[in-house]
Structure 1
């Protein structure tokens, strides 16, 4: 009788230890017309489904270590989705309560996940006249902090542990490659990820050119504020982290370009990812003429696409929001 081979895999002590060490995937089908390579860091493989798992745990671990919080305390954060889910998972593990302040752009799948994790959802329904929904969410955070004893704001918008978390993300990405990347495309919102990448590049003396991917209607790289449909990237308020001296260039992408990028990644690579990832795909295509032949590029696959099934991956939603003679929606055809 032939015995099957037994494979011994290492075990982890808890779900928190499973965060990070995500795969790096060569995206060799979605950019076939280009003369350069693109690698995607699969942050969607983190246990709650996004890059924000790293940020959430990095902030909470320090707060626990320094005694800012203890078991039973209440964590409060403003989030459009991914940070909320990363915190929801981590708070359950660390025995912390969680209140997430959201606005109408949060999608139904994320709300269902937050309810499953036991997080309390606090809604703001009207944008701040100057600072939009983000400004209104932050104002509500401060009101809650004043009224809830033993509460703590993780403050993804200003806590230095946000960018610091992504020194590890970059160490993993660059460690998996024989040579440093020539270009790194990073979508921006709080700019924590962007500046964590910038810090790694600077600290290691790399020549990697950092390209920010921002949303049309976001003020981070020069636009006037306007309404946006795709959550998770862009911002209506200035970043506390952003230092443009470390950014080689910026590319603006529209909501529809985010959608098209998502569908292209799905159809060509079989990867179901979120809106900001689609933005990065489109940004690389828009920037392709500026990338020398033979270059290597990196991007981050920030989150899973399941939470966007009712929007980005819904033909009805796309037709409702983008069906005009000026928009080419041929990607909706089953080819």
Structure 2
């Protein structure tokens, strides 16, 4: 029996959609990152119950950190984007977290930079605050060890391909790292939106939107790029098609990053017989009803979609591109920075 709601929703459901296709479905995946980070900080004495934890968030991490703080008796302050909706605002308020919204902006980079600058001001004004640094600290990898161990138990001996949004690397990167350390044969396929700087596609732009959470117009310094074998860049339109198809095919109601991962998994399956595809569904589809699911009758069929296979991130084009990152360069890999904050890793 779980001792707290946060522990319950941090556990994924493993759903086998086909003999070689498994969905790792979370309700709120970032709760896993926040819980693991807070537990490690408490265990090492870097924070104590009652301390204030602060970070910037466009939405989901705000809820994850608020729940982790509620679980462990911490205070929580969020510098939030204008995308934080009323449902989330009320949850944060009741959980005891304080939310400070930034002024409206149509420029994603400006919004993110403003939030980070405000966090810096708060730390100067309140030196006792602890900045969680969700975009930069490798401590957020720690919570996925148990997820990897469970997957290892439930899928014995099978060669695996993990497919999911890159984000800060704390989900896909951590799973691959832990599973490989267990001796598993694991390939790692990352999903990126166009416009994300993480794998060098900042020269592109999706006219519809950037898919929040899996990439960004600012650098995420805790991404370990050398862990990834292949990278897919997927547009909003194609991610929408994947999310609708996932719901129609399996009954799983999940968000846009899950839709992009489902789309990429189908393409990867055709090229990797004998491997089991495990794709991540990090959240439910409720936030995307108006933006993505309402127009379900107009999305293309996945069987009609295929990516542009390119030789590097400088050649990616909409609406879907893929590159073999592992063989593409050591030069691109050389730009990677190891995450900090987790034992055994150095900056």
Normalising by structure 2, what TM-score? 0.76
Relative distance call for 1:79 and 1:130 in structure 2 (3 A) is closer
Distance 1:21 1:121, change over 3 A: closer
Instruction: Name the SS for the 2:249 alignment partner.
Output: helix
Offset of residue 170 of structure 1:
1.6
CA positional deviation for 1:131: 4.4
2:162 aligns with: 184
Cα distance in 2, alignment partners of residues 112 and 232 from structure 1 = 21
Q: Deviations over 1:220-253 (max 9, x none)?
A: 1221254634322211122222233221110111
2:157 touches 2:184 (CA, 8 Å); kept in 1?
Answer: no
Structure 1 distance, partners of 2:108, 2:163, is 29
Comparing 14-23 with 201-210, which one deviates more in the overlay? 14-23
Deviation at 1:212, TM superposition (A): 0.7
Instruction: Tell me the alpha carbon deviations over residues 200-226 of structure 1, each in whole angstroms, 9 at most, x when there is no partner.
Output: 233123322111111111111221254
* Pair 1:40-2:10 in alignment: no
Corresponding position of 1:13? 3
Matched, 1:238 2:238: no
| Structure-2 change in CA distance of 1:178 and 1:217 (3 Å) | same
Counterpart CA distance in 1 for 2:5 and 2:223 is 31
Q: Look at both structures and tell me which one has the larger radius of gyration over its CA atoms.
A: 1
Q: Deviations over 1:247-282 (max 9, x none)?
A: 111011111122222111112211111221112112
Q: Secondary structure at the match of 2:34?
A: helix
Alpha carbons 2:176, 2:187 under 8 Å: kept: no
2:283 counterpart residue number: 303
Alignment-derived partner of residue 24 in structure 1: 14
Residue 180 (structure 2) aligns with: 202
Of 123-132 and 170-179, more deviation after overlay is shown by 123-132
Corresponding position of 2:36: 58
The answer for unaligned runs of 5 or more in structure 1 is: 1-10, 29-35, 45-49, 320-327
The structure 2 residue matched to 1:114, chosen from 89, 92, 95, is: 92
Q: Tell me the distance in 2 between the aligned counterparts of 1:108 and 1:88.
A: 16
Distance 2:217 2:81 in 1: 13
Unmatched segments (≥5 aa) in structure 2:
302-347
Q: Secondary structure at the match of 1:100?
A: strand
- What is the total number of aligned residue pairs between the two structures? 298
Matched residue, 2:292: 312
Change in 2 beyond 3 A, CA 1:153/1:200: same
Aligned to 2:265: 284
Q: Secondary structure at the match of 1:27?
A: strand
